Amino acid sequence: MQSNKNNTYSIILPTFNEAGHIRNLIEDIYKIFFNKDLKFEIIVVDDGSKDGTIEQINELKNTINNLNLIIRSELKNSLVDSLNSGINASKYENIIWLDADYSHPPNYINEMINKTNEKNYDLIFFSRFLKESKRYFQNEKYSAQTIDKLSIYLNKLCNFFLYKDLYDYTSGFILIKKNFLKNHKLKGYYGDYFIKLLVDAKLNNLKIIELPFIELDRRSGESKTTGNKFDLIIKCFFYLISIKINFFRKFKIF
């Protein structure tokens, strides 16, 4: 197993009721790193699933010895807090996180590993808004949801007011160096944390690459993003606030 510190990986999966596919996802990620003979760990941070997700992960721990489970059952559900919990528990140099519903296909992790080895990027993330990218609703079987349409406009605003060489400010499919995260804790209400993270990276002159990918619909279950319209409005509000704050941060006004 390769032990070069720069070629070690902690993969964080924030979960909530993912029983329909979580076993397959973990096994797919495990095979990628095992086949490459890399040093890695998979950290699942669960927000108190009630559908058997936790039980499935505990079963997998019997056969996957570098699989760790953090359960946040007594805490308020929070994507950002879940990611920070995983980051704090991680022990390797390259930290990867992605959605646990297969909308971020795990096979693209291979490309992250290749790019890290080729150019030693500080931050690699996959984008829904590059010319070569494809959204799940471009498949005739699906249709765009309200959150998808809002995301398009929000990211156009980010591109206009922040950095024009970045396009997906709410990606959530990323590889980043742990050392950077030590001094730049994730902050936000929901997906707006990613806006601040990209601005932090730009202000600190990180070596960044944004890559296209083909997005898939979630494998099973229901989306936590679109389940509550009132919550969706709140999330949009925080996205807009984040754009405003980070616009001023870009010019170092505060």
Q: Which string of DSSP letters, residue by residue, matches 152-172?
A: HHHHHHHHHHS-TT---TT--
Of 139 and 173, the one with more pLDDT: 173
This prediction's pTM: 0.93
pLDDT on residue 2: 58
State pLDDT tens for residues 5-19. 778 999 999 999 999
* 226 has a pLDDT exceeding 90: no
Region 103-116: mean pLDDT is 96
Of 131 and 76, the one with more pLDDT: 131
Region 215-236: mean pLDDT is 75
- Asked if 190 and 238 count as a contact pair (C-beta separation under 8 A), the reply is yes
* 123 has a pLDDT exceeding 60: yes
Q: Any idea what DSSP says for residue 213?
A: -
Region 204-223: mean pLDDT is 88
pLDDT on residue 225: 54
Domains of the chain: 5-250 (3.90.550.10)
pLDDT on residue 221: 63
Of 225 and 161, the one with more pLDDT: 161
Region 137-157: mean pLDDT is 90
* 129 has a pLDDT exceeding 80: yes
Region 54-73: mean pLDDT is 94
* Token duo for residue 244: 């405003």
State pLDDT tens for residues 7-63. 899 999 999 999 999 999 999 999 999 999 999 999 999 999 999 999 999 999 999
Region 103-126: mean pLDDT is 95
CA distance 194 to 11: 17
* Token duo for residue 103: 């909308």
Sheet (strand 123-127) strand order: 67-71, 39-46, 8-15, 94-97, 174-177, 123-127, 208-212
Region 182-194: mean pLDDT is 96
pLDDT on residue 223: 60
pLDDT on residue 75: 79
CA distance 72 to 81: 9
Give alpha helix (H) positions in 19-142: 22-35, 53-60, 79-89, 109-119
